[in-house]
Amino acid sequence: MNYPLKIFLALALFGCLLDMPYTYFILVRFATFAICGYLAYVAYKDQRMSAVWIYLGIALLFQPFLKISLHRITWNILDVLLAIYLVINVLWNPLRPHKKE
């Protein structure tokens, strides 16, 4: 599954709240772009079109090639929101098989 990628990305995004060197933020942008692009591809294969658009939107927002200039606090809010979304997506996944009692 994609759970390790989502957890890794969530931890990296929470790490953006710390006082890190600028290269860390660039690496997180590359990782977010690549991982969300991959997750969009997986969602497309699974016919989950809403997830495709969500992951593509995130990938475009975090893409490292054309810098989107936002204030640090705005990026921190986006980082936390995305990290929370990924953690919730891992913990509560409607496609995961449930035990029948």
**CA distances in angstroms from 33 to 25, 78, 89, 96, 101, listed in the order given:** 12, 14, 18, 25, 40
Whether 26 is in a domain gets the answer yes
In sequence order, what are the residues at sequence separation of 6 or more whose Cβ sits closer than 8 angstroms to the Cβ of residue 51? 39, 40, 43
Phi first, then psi, for residue 32 (nearest 5°) are -65, -45
Q: What is the pTM of this model?
A: 0.82
What is the extent of the structural domain holding 81? 3-90
- pLDDT at residue 80 greater than cutoff 80: yes
Whether 99 is in a domain gets the answer no
The pLDDT tens digits of the residues spanning 16-69 come to 998 889 899 989 999 999 999 999 999 999 898 998 999 999 999 988 888 888
Whether 85 is in a domain gets the answer yes
Whether 71 is in a domain gets the answer yes
Alpha helices for the chain (secondary structure H): 3-15, 22-45, 49-62, 72-91
Cα(35)–Cα(58) distance, rounded to whole angstroms? Answer: 10
Whether 58 is in a domain gets the answer yes
Q: How many domains does the chain have?
A: 1
